[in-house]
Amino acid sequence: MEFHERLKQLRKEKKMTQAALAKNLTYGATAISNYESGHNQPSISDLKKIASIFNVSLDYLLGVNEIRRPYEPDKKSDDYEILIEYFSKLDDRGKKELLLYIQWLSSRSEDAFSDPYANDTTFQNSSLQVAQKPEEFKL
């Protein structure tokens, strides 16, 4: 499959119009039409942007292979998806704080892996307190 066919396929999979994709790329509406018809080709920097919008590799976008995301695991747990969703909503400072918290959690000893929310004193005395218990979070 060639780039122009792949672009059209990805855009339709995402239920995105040509105009919406053009707006994301700060293009005129006809640019995407020209790409999809094979009349024009985007620059390398624009190819990177398009691949990012559709969350695919450049090789997949260009039709080199059929592997959409070669460096990501095929199956992700629901917890992973929720974590990614929350992480994407954070500002840079929040992302740094979360990464530090994850590092702290990873460094704890095995006996510390009991539920910190089961006992209020354990929760309250944690060096990294959380504002609410997990069941209180809503997406």
The parts of the chain modelled with pLDDT lower than 70 are 71-76, 109-139
Domain ranges across the chain: 3-62, 78-131
Q: Alpha-carbon distance 118 to 56, whole Å?
A: 41
SS3 133: coil
**What integer pLDDT is reported at residue 9 of this predicted model?**
94
For the 3-62 domain, the top CATH level (class) is mainly alpha
**What integer pLDDT is reported at residue 3 of this predicted model?**
93
Structure tokens given for 137: 């979070």
Q: What are phi and psi of 48, to 5 degrees?
A: -60, -40
Measured between its terminal Cα atoms, the distance across the chain in Å is 38
Enumerate residues 6+ apart whose C-beta is below 8 A from 24.
Answer: 49, 53
